[in-house]
Amino acid sequence: MASPLLAVAVVSLFAMGTTPAMADDDPDAKPVTLPMEDPDLHRRLDHVLAVLRQDDAAAGKSCLDSMANVHADEKTVDGLSGSISDSGRKVEGLDVARDVLESDYEAAINACRPDAERSCGTRPRATCAELRGGSPR
């Protein structure tokens, strides 16, 4: 069972309408655009998070920690990307930051998917079909 502190963290990380690639602090933030090697990475993480948004107590500490890493590194990539548009030149470290963020997405999927699958096992819902690779609702 998740602690009350974890439940509060889940609500803040999985707020309705928030996608993994949205900044936490800026309500007008735009999704971070990533040239990922795996174009389905964001979609897969979003499916997992869609389940957890409906059962926020299901997310464990490992999932929450992974999502905190995703959000922190999204801010880094977004900041470096902003530097590119301001200066018009490539910023050192942006490619590395994007690689780290892509790894964070994979780690978050691996950490959060078991929690989402457990939740689906106890409460069948439409978002679980997406998680299992079925057709979206």
| Side chain identity at residue 20, one-letter code | P
Question: What is the structure's pLDDT at 129?
Answer: 79
Q: Are 41 and 102 in contact (CB under 8 A)?
A: yes
Tens-place pLDDT, residues 6-59: 444 444 444 433 445 444 444 555 554 555 667 788 889 998 999 999 887 899
Asked if residues 106 and 36 have their Cβ atoms less than 8 Å apart, the reply is: no
Contact criterion met (CB below 8 Å) for 40 and 109: no
Token digits of residue 72: 């922190």
The pLDDT, as a whole number, for residue 86 is: 59
Tens-place pLDDT, residues 91-132: 778 888 889 999 999 999 999 999 999 998 877 677 787 776
- Chain centroid offset of residue 14 CA: 8
- Residue 56 pLDDT: 77
**pLDDT, averaged across the chain:** 74
Q: Which pLDDT score, from 0 to 100, does residue 33 have?
A: 52
Residue 130: predicted pLDDT: 74
Query: Which pLDDT does position 35 carry in this prediction?
Result: 53
pLDDT in tens, 126-136: 778 777 665 44
pLDDT digits (tens, 9 = 90+) for 48-105: 999 999 887 899 999 999 999 999 999 998 888 877 665 666 677 888 888 999 999 9
3-state DSSP assignment of residue 123: coil
Task: Quote the pLDDT of residue 59.
Answer: 94
> Look-up: residue for tokens 């998917």?
113
Answer whether 22's CB lies under 8 Å from 31's CB: yes
Q: What is the pTM of this model?
A: 0.69
